[in-house]
Structure 1
Amino acid sequence: MRTMELRRVPYGTTFTAFGDQFVALDYIGGGVLAIRKETWKNAAFDSNGVNDLRSASIGQALEDYLNTLKDGDAKISDILNMTIDLKATDGTREYGFHETKIGLLTLEQYGKYQHIIPDVEECWWLATPWRTPGEKCGNSTNAWFVVSDGNASFSYCSYTGYYLRPALILSPSLLTSIEDEAEQNGGKTEAETYAEYCAYVKDWAGYAEEGGQDQGTSPLTYEEWKEENAG
């Protein structure tokens, strides 16, 4: 284990802070967006079946988790405010934005970072509503979630079989602990491995433009590529 400022932790790397493990995703809002490496506990999105995160009962569960971080020596200055875009799947913005210290990833964010978010055994909620209750929108009882295999779907908000996986923005100057991934992965960090994958995709696309790929084929996924190049 080694200690470093969070601003220096490569995206996709697991780090330890406040006695818990997180994955660094991006630098936004003046800090580092991170998600808990594992789910925390199961909870309905909202006990009354409403998909508005601003008032949903899952907010209390998130607040409970925030209190556990404070018990783990987290300072209020370590956790920055985050703004969650509650745009529905159909693009309506009836719910606007949610300002909070701790929240959930949106469907759009999950799509952006899914290649560096570890899969977990449980299904976990996202912040994005399926639709909102406006005049032509209908069905405001569903929200998006991530399945254990990494795919996304939507479900009734009152269902209690899914879990919450807290997301938060942390101070870039926060001191964190990380494992020496270079020793564990044959001298390469996850960030370096992913950079090699991006180079592979770029080369594949260039070869396809020259007519060197069969029509209808696609490059390997990140996980497929890693498995093929293991060792």
Structure 2
Amino acid sequence: MTNITTLRPGEHFMFKNFEWVCLDPNHPDGGLLAIMAEPWGKDVKFCPSDKFADEKGNRNNYRTSNVRGILSDMTNSVFGGKGLLAHTVDLVADNGDRAYGTVKDPVFILTCDEYRKYREFIPHYDSWVWTATPWYCGDKDSDADCANVVRTVNANGQFGNDDARYVNDVTPACILNPKSLNLRQSMSYVEEVSE
């Protein structure tokens, strides 16, 4: 068995029966940052394509979003919660507004800043995917149009804006804990360490 931090940025591997791409083997959070090689869409039973906005009318705030709720549910149901480190997601808006603050989650979606940083290693997906970055931190009543807009990434890897009430795919990311996961060298398969 080998330490997972020996994976190189851009290298694909399997974890929990999903294909992942290593973005940063020595992330400042203390582990390996990875993103799924394929987005979760309608054809994935765990996480259908969905609206960013939640049922209560909260629109482009990732903290209260439907997408974050889905990722939170799958943390335990799909990944068992073991082997993952919490990551702080900075919800700064595209215009620099920090009204939404930060959240800390073990499974998350990338922000625009993270996407820019790791762009060369992220696959071009066949569909539009959500980021955690709002275009503008707006009040849903007084700034209805702005409060709807979330930054997305299209199939060409370019940023776009989309209404939080629309449906896009979700590309989960996580920080794998090298203290509780090993790499099976021959297969590039990450598994939990037996105690």
How far has the Cα of 1:100 moved from its partner? 1.2
1:23 paired residue number:
21
1:90 paired residue number:
95
Pick from 146, 152, 167: which aligns with 2:153? 146
Instruction: Give the number of aligned pairs.
Output: 172
Distance, in Å, in 2 between the alignment partners of 1:179 and 1:52 is 42
Q: Encode CA deviations 1:130-184: one digit per residue, 9 max, x unaligned.
A: 00026xx941111011101111111100101x10000111112422356779xxx
1:166 aligns with 2:175: no
**2:58 and 2:64 in contact (8 A); partners too:** no
Higher strand share: 2
Structure 1 residues 104 and 179, CA, compared in 2 at 3 Å: closer, same or farther? farther
Q: Encode CA deviations 1:15-52: one digit per residue, 9 max, x unaligned.
A: 11111111111122111111111101211111436111
Distance, in Å, in 1 between the alignment partners of 2:70 and 2:163 is 18
SS at match of 2:50: coil
User: Which structure: larger Rg?
Assistant: 1
Structure 1 residues 148 and 177, CA, compared in 2 at 3 Å: closer, same or farther? farther
CA RMSD of aligned residues (A): 2.1
Pick from 5, 8, 19: which aligns with 2:6? 8
Distance, in Å, in 2 between the alignment partners of 1:127 and 1:133 is 15
What pairs up with 1:72-83 in 2 under 5 angstroms? 74=80, 76-83=81-88
Pick from 101, 122, 130: which aligns with 1:117? 122
2:163 paired residue number:
156
SS at match of 2:120: coil
**1:6 and 1:176 in contact (8 A); partners too:** yes
Amino acid at match of 1:5: N
Q: TM-score, normalised by structure 1?
A: 0.69
- In structure 2, stretches of 5+ residues that fail to align are 42-48, 189-195
Structure 1 residues 150 and 179, CA, compared in 2 at 3 Å: closer, same or farther? farther
Distance, in Å, in 1 between the alignment partners of 2:37 and 2:77 is 16
Distance, in Å, in 2 between the alignment partners of 1:34 and 1:25 is 5
How far has the Cα of 1:60 moved from its partner? 2.0
Amino acid at match of 1:107: C
Name segments (4+ residues, structure 1) moved above 4 Å: 177-181
Pick from 83, 103, 106: which aligns with 2:108? 103
**1:14 and 1:178 in contact (8 A); partners too:** no
**2:124 and 2:155 in contact (8 A); partners too:** yes
Distance, in Å, in 1 between the alignment partners of 2:61 and 2:33 is 22
Q: Encode CA deviations 1:86-116: one digit per residue, 9 max, x unaligned.
A: 0001101001111112111000110111111
Distance, in Å, in 2 between the alignment partners of 1:165 and 1:8 is 23
Distance, in Å, in 2 between the alignment partners of 1:142 and 1:94 is 15
**1:17 and 1:177 in contact (8 A); partners too:** no
SS at match of 2:39: coil
1:229 paired residue number:
none
2:45 paired residue number:
none
3-12 or 148-157, which deviates more: 3-12
Q: TM-score, normalised by structure 2?
A: 0.81
